[in-house]
Amino acid sequence: MRAVSSPSAHVLLLENIHGSSHPQFREAGVEVHARATGLTEDALIEALNGLPGDGPVMVGIRSKTHVTARVLDAVPRLLAVGAFCIGTDQIDLAGARDRGVVVFNAPFSNTRSVAELIIGEIIMLSRHVFMRSAACHRGEWRKSAKGSNEVRGKTLGIVGYGHIGSQLSVLAEALGMQVMFYDIVGKLPLGNAQACGSLEELLERSDFVSLHVPDTALTRGMMGAAEIAQMRRGAYLLNASRGLVVDVDALRSALDEGRLAGAAIDVYPKEPKGAGQAFESVLQGSERAILTPHIGGSTEEAQANIGREVSIALTRYLSSGVTVGAKNLPHVDAPELTGGGCRISNIHRNVPGVLSAINNVVAASEINVASQHLATVASVGVLIVDLCIPRADPRVQSLREAIAGLSTSLRTRLL
């Protein structure tokens, strides 16, 4: 049970997080403490507890720093964690949820970067640019139109019509491609794109197949030997999703036998842990394959977007209690406070009777409620209560303390 109300907040930004986040924090009155490196568990605890004042603190990390249950327990002032990246495996998400600590990441900051790379590769594959460029480097002049095609009018089959797949759809249509897609969830087709009823139908009708699905039990191996065999002869396969989605041995055979004309692969079943390390793949040496080192989302723009996106989510949560986009808590949204009232933000254990207990406390305070916003998942709820009296009114502080004192309350703030 934690009660936080001080407005003077600090954020510790680790691992060289892009400076695009700083203006947002400053504008929200949050003091920024930036470091270039990651921190170990102990060093992180020390650094967070060493931040000035007794107000709320937030931490921004990328992949190297781990926010564990120990860190969460040792830093009671920790209000929120910003993963300035896509993955959140380095954070104990459930542990944070159970302690009322919200976690945000940046799921679509690099969407456009991936879609652009795929567009470039579709054209490079269609004109066999990489193999002809390699030949030029070797001193060979392989000038020929044979097997080279414009992409206009060709069919692009997109597997997974989420953030990246749908963005790619729009860009491909701008090039004059016909777009079809397959997704397990019903999706609104953008522009003239057409939904396919099955993966098989998409594979049979596409000149280019581009994969944009997550790594799940269903998608692992979804492009195996049988599916690759269902693709059109002379078609191209692109994978910038996750490495285990494609059976790379089967892909190599299809390329060697000329059944597929080419492939562009950015992700692999086994990838080196960091830059500069050795890389091995069965696809190496195939001149039909464009291989890139998981750089689909790696652009300066994506890094800047991540800085902005996560800092906006963190500061919005700090000032208004809104959890839209949170990775570990239900998403509650509420308009900005206007009209001189104030707001109580409460994260609670979602057990029977919790709301009536909170509402009984509010009713006993005799403060008029302007509005309430609630979102719950099985174990936890996020509640915003807007009150009709100003923050400075002493009755509001007493109400916050009474709500924070309920055994179900995990974190209660006055905003």
- The catalytic site residues sit at 242, 271, 294
Q: Does 4 bind ligand NAI (CB under 6 A)?
A: no
Q: Is 289 helix (H, G, I), strand (E, B) or coil?
A: strand
In this chain, which stretch among 14-22, 63-71, 72-80, 291-299 interacts with ligand NAI, using CB under 6 A? 291-299
With H, G, I as helix, E, B as strand and everything else as coil, classify residue 33. strand
Residues 71-110, mask of contacts with ligand NAI (x by CB under 6 A): ---------------x--------------------xx-x
Residues of span 226-255 touching ligand NAI by CB under 6 A: 240-242
Give the nearer residue to ligand NAI in terms of CB position, either 185 or 378: 185
Task: Decide: 102 and 341 in contact? Cβ < 8 Å.
Answer: no
Using CB under 6 A as the binding criterion, the count of chain residues that bind ligand NAI stands at 32
Token reading at 50? 């060493």
Which of residues 98 and 116 has its CB atom nearest to ligand NAI in the complex?
116
| Residue 1 near residue 404, CB atoms below 8 Å | yes
- Residue by residue, what is the 3-state secondary structure of 83-133? ECCCCCCCECHHHHHHCCCEEECCCCCCHHHHHHHHHHHHHHHHCCHHHHH
Rule CB under 6 A: say whether 351 interacts with ligand NAI: no
Q: In what order do the strands lie in the sheet with 78-83?
A: 30-34, 9-13, 57-61, 78-83, 102-104
Contact call for residue 220 and ligand NAI (CB under 6 A): no
| Residue 55 or 165 with smaller CB distance to ligand NAI | 165
Write down the least CB distance from residue 84 to ligand NAI, Å.
Answer: 14
CA–CA gap between residue 87 and residue 399 (Å, rounded)? 38
Query: Is residue 251 packed enough to be buried (19+ CB in 10 Å), middle (13-18) or exposed (0-12)?
Result: buried
Which residues, listed in sequence order, are joined to residue 376 by a DSSP beta bridge? 381
Determine if 309 is a binding residue for ligand NAI (CB under 6 A): no
211 pairs with which residues across the strands? 159, 239
Which of 262, 296, 307, 325 binds ligand NAI (CB under 6 A)? It is 296
* 218 belongs to the binding site for ligand NAI (CB under 6 A): yes
Question: Closer CB to ligand NAI, residue 196 or residue 404?
Answer: 196
Helix (H) or strand (E) holding 307: helix 300-320
294 part of the interface to ligand NAI, by CB under 6 A: yes
157 near ligand NAI, judged by CB under 6 A: no
Q: Which residues bind ligand NAI (CB under 6 A)?
A: 86, 107-108, 110-111, 114, 159-165, 182-185, 212-216, 218-219, 240-242, 266-267, 294, 296-297
